[in-house]
Chain A
Amino acid sequence: MARLKYRPLNLGRWLVWGGTALLMILLPQILTAGFTLTLLSQIGVGIIFALSYNMLLGQGGMLSFGHAVYSGMGAYFTVHALNLISKGAFYFPVTLTPLIGGVAGAFFGVIFGYVTTKKSGTTFAMISLGIGEMVAACSLMFAGFFGGEAGISTNRVIGEAFLGISYGPSIQVYYLIVGWALICMVAMFAWTQTPLGRMANAVRDNPERAEFVGYDTHMVRFLTLVISGFFAGIAGGLSCINYEIVTAENVGALRSAGVLIATFIGGAGFFFGPIIGSIVFFTMVTAIGSITQAWAFYLGLLFLVIVLYAPGGFASLIAMHVPVIKARLMRRLWLPYSAALATGIALLAGLVSVVEMTYHFSTEAGANPNMKLFGLAFNVTHAAPWAVASALLVGGFIISRFAWNLVGRTWADIVHILQEQSA
């Protein structure tokens, strides 16, 4: 990739972007199971939102606990705009309405941003939390604009279908989302290459030095926040078109926490990290959420494991293997990896059993003590299944420690070899 980068025609980059676009366009044709389209639309909107969040966290070093404010306000302005358009107050193509959301997001970025971005780090985190709480509380107080508990609903099908596109069927909305997602992804990637994007990195890494060189760090952070608010607003606008309703949860703390978790799981240090993060996050929430009530527990656990052991997220895990593959050293890793996988499965099976059994026990032990897990039926009030599950959990933990040590040692060797090669 690095070799390809400076050629006049950047082949690698074209391949990656073209591949992504092709995949997004073809996916609904490949995965035709009923619910996939809804999930894919969610992921598409989530990607824009998470990428906009990562402008703050990854590129600007600002940890925000209130990013939903910008996407939510974008969504609210879009929904009001759509309602006005359908009343005939003014004309605006539905395809472009996410732009209204974007402008609204940027506008609130300007309002809240100037004071919040004076400092980064903990101060910024706290102030974003405070603003998030305030806006969320206001959303229930001002029913006129926010629609109170019921939210504001709209109809995305306005006027005559243009070239057969009415946005009635959800497949058309999916392609609208894909279109916007691709444009936003390219735009946000391009932003990272601009002087401002570069300065955001510098301000993140060493604000003092950036200040000495003559840059106004406050201004850099402020502009970053406004642009990030713009893209978050677009994501909000798209979600408004997708659901045809905007409710208070759009500006709520849960939404803000969700985008933080998604971005971090994917990897804040890489441009494509939040994309992976959104895919993992929404798949977990939707797919695992429909299987088990304990989905939030598993999601929290995954987040903690990532924070503790892979703070670069999934993206860093992928990225760290690239040089190994190039140096043709992967074969050294297969054995430790399979050991880690095997023991990890045992550990995971133990963990899942304990969690699921506890859930079942606490919700319906009295009425229905029998449950099924991994195809096995048993009674949760008996001791035997608990013994098996805890043995799996504890035993799995102990043997996985050995496997992980093996992985660690092998990696140390590989890093050594790589260093020698480069020297």
Chain B
Amino acid sequence: MKMTFNRVLLAGVIASALVAPSVLAAETLKIAYIDPLSGAFANVGEAGLKHFEFVAADINKRKLAGDVKFEIVPFDNKVSPQESLNVLKKVEDQGIRYITQGNSSGVAGVLIDAVNKYNERNPGKSILYLNYAAVDPDFTNSKCSFWHFRFDANSDMKMEALTDFIAKDPKIKKVYLINQNYSFGQAVSRAAKEYLKRKRPDIQVVGDDLHPIGQVKDFAPYVAKIKASGADIVITGNWGNDISLLIKAAKDAGLNAPFYTYYGGGIGALSSMGDAADGKVKQITEWHANIRPNKTEKYANAFDAKYGGPPANISFYYLRVNNEMYMLAKAIKEAKSTDPKAVAHKLEGMKYEADTGEVEMRATDHQLIQPLYISTAAKAYHNPKDPKTAKFKGTDPEVKYDQDDSGYGFKTDARIEAYVTVQPTSCHMKRP
């Protein structure tokens, strides 16, 4: 697949080289990576950076953007919205025209505003913002911007997919919602109630907890409450320690209900949950290491060989980073220019054959429409013939790879096609 795609692109290179030889002269395109590289969330930022550096090297090696070389320039924003603005000023000063960021919708919202203002006040020096993980639906609705593209499915799309899957299971009668009390957690709770009501009015929401983010040390009381409610399943958008602690407390109390999560497989989550996750934690993602067919397998293995070792133990996780960068490369080639405005026009509406199927950057709101996978955590397969799997304990060959060296991986429950996740948008985009 990659080969044919490569060949197509190669043909494209030759064609474009014939048409406009001077525009795409050897040039280094700097992309500012703005995410936490110090402090509490540095592990997540560090992992993202590795993904970008790896894919940039791949693009440069295969000349996917023609003669344009990609260079990732990391900036530490300490997950602070204000610090991100300082960083953005640095980026402006250095003349970098592309930024990418993902961690925290708070930061993303600030960056969208700031980029809009900057581009308005400095026409001709505009900056393009590629968002790889901030999922607040507002960014492609009320706050949508010509200068912002999102490559992750937003939280409403993920909920559409999750509830679609839940609705098909007639045994599910009672659902419990537990989320962090801030914009994202509230959005998850609201969407879950709304979509479940639409798809399965008979399902009862037996609990809807919003707890302060990052403040709860002991989830046992919440689990006791879930248990008392008699819920069949739990839906949660919790991430970081809030998901790990919740899952561990559930296991301690012998709670059998599965958890439908957004970030149950997030970076480092499986390691800290350990066997509490086994069979209980479901996640919704655009990719995981054990999807079938897995066109990214070779790439992911190369990535893991480079970064998977101790002490960091980073597994390949963000397929969307690849989608983002390959699509950017394609847009640059099609636009025959690295000017953000021209590239943005090419990105709008772009259809691209990704490893998981065709994805489309919807022109109306700059939201990537892509297939998603629902999967359940399971013990990685112990293959007696493969010494590399010696410490794995699982028996299901489908769970071939573990994540973050935790001994646990994911097994696909369902693939949700891209069209299912499509949401209407209220975006009225102003185009320059």
Most buried by B among A34, A149, A367: A149
User: B80 touches which one: A249, A286, A362 (CB < 8 A)?
Assistant: A249
Taking CB atoms and an 8 Å cut-off, the chain B residues in 80-119 that contact chain A are: 80-82, 85-86, 89-90, 92-94, 104-106, 109-110, 113-114, 117
Asked whether A296 lies within 8 Å of B81 as measured between CB atoms, the reply is no
**Cβ of A293 < 8 Å from any Cβ of B?**
yes
User: A170's closest neighbor in chain B, by CB?
Assistant: B89
Asked whether A366 lies within 8 Å of B310 as measured between CB atoms, the reply is yes
**Cβ of B15 < 8 Å from any Cβ of A?**
no
Asked whether A149 lies within 8 Å of B182 as measured between CB atoms, the reply is yes
- Note all chain B residues with C-beta closer than 8 A to A361: 311
**Cβ of A148 < 8 Å from any Cβ of B?**
yes
Interface of B is mostly: helix
User: A36's closest neighbor in chain B, by CB?
Assistant: B93
User: B86 touches which one: A42, A140, A150 (CB < 8 A)?
Assistant: A42
Asked whether B110 lies within 8 Å of A140 as measured between CB atoms, the reply is no
User: B50's closest neighbor in chain A, by CB?
Assistant: A367
Nearest chain B CB to A313 CB, angstrom units: 25
> CA separation between A289 and B308, bound complex, in Å?
27
**Cβ of B306 < 8 Å from any Cβ of A?**
yes
User: B109's closest neighbor in chain A, by CB?
Assistant: A150
Q: What range describes how many residues of A lie at the interface?
A: 35 or more
- Note all chain B residues with C-beta closer than 8 A to A294: 38
User: A247 touches which one: B37, B50, B82 (CB < 8 A)?
Assistant: B82
> CA separation between A140 and B85, bound complex, in Å?
21
Asked whether B183 lies within 8 Å of A366 as measured between CB atoms, the reply is no
Asked whether A295 lies within 8 Å of B109 as measured between CB atoms, the reply is no
Asked whether B117 lies within 8 Å of A141 as measured between CB atoms, the reply is no
Asked whether B212 lies within 8 Å of A141 as measured between CB atoms, the reply is yes
> CA separation between A250 and B82, bound complex, in Å?
9
Nearest chain A CB to B308 CB, angstrom units: 8
- Note all chain B residues with C-beta closer than 8 A to A290: 75-76, 90
Asked whether A247 lies within 8 Å of B106 as measured between CB atoms, the reply is yes
Asked whether A148 lies within 8 Å of B310 as measured between CB atoms, the reply is no
- Note all chain A residues with C-beta closer than 8 A to B117: 155, 244
User: B113 touches which one: A153, A249, A362 (CB < 8 A)?
Assistant: A153
Taking CB atoms and an 8 Å cut-off, the chain A residues in 343-374 that contact chain B are: 361-367
**Cβ of A322 < 8 Å from any Cβ of B?**
no
**Cβ of B46 < 8 Å from any Cβ of A?**
yes
> CA separation between A5 and B309, bound complex, in Å?
67
User: A239's closest neighbor in chain B, by CB?
Assistant: B82
Asked whether A293 lies within 8 Å of B76 as measured between CB atoms, the reply is yes
**Cβ of A137 < 8 Å from any Cβ of B?**
yes
Asked whether A151 lies within 8 Å of B109 as measured between CB atoms, the reply is yes
**Cβ of B176 < 8 Å from any Cβ of A?**
no
> CA separation between A168 and B37, bound complex, in Å?
31
**Interface membership of chain B positions 66-79, coded 1 if the CB is closer than 8 angstroms to chain A and 0 otherwise:** 00000000011010
Asked whether B110 lies within 8 Å of A245 as measured between CB atoms, the reply is yes
**Cβ of A243 < 8 Å from any Cβ of B?**
yes
**Cβ of B312 < 8 Å from any Cβ of A?**
yes
**Cβ of B184 < 8 Å from any Cβ of A?**
yes
Known A35-B89, A366-B309; judge A148-B110 contact (CB<8 A): no
Nearest chain A CB to B313 CB, angstrom units: 9
Asked whether B89 lies within 8 Å of A38 as measured between CB atoms, the reply is yes
Nearest chain B CB to A71 CB, angstrom units: 12
Nearest chain B CB to A240 CB, angstrom units: 10
Q: Spell out B's residues near A (CB within 8 Å).
A: 37-39, 42, 46, 50, 75-76, 78, 80-82, 85-86, 89-90, 92-94, 104-106, 109-110, 113-114, 117, 121, 136, 138, 181-184, 186, 212-213, 215, 306-312
Q: Spell out A's residues near B (CB within 8 Å).
A: 34-35, 38, 42, 137, 140-141, 143, 148-151, 153, 155, 168, 170, 239, 243-245, 247-250, 286, 289-290, 293-296, 361-367
> Closest 9 A-B residue pairs measured CB to CB?
A34-B93, A366-B309, A150-B109, A149-B106, A148-B183, A247-B81, A293-B38, A38-B89, A149-B182
Given contact pairs A151-B110, A362-B312, enumerate 11 new A-B contacts (beta carbons under 8 Å): A35-B89, A38-B90, A140-B181, A150-B183, A245-B82, A247-B110, A290-B90, A364-B307, A364-B312, A367-B50, A367-B309
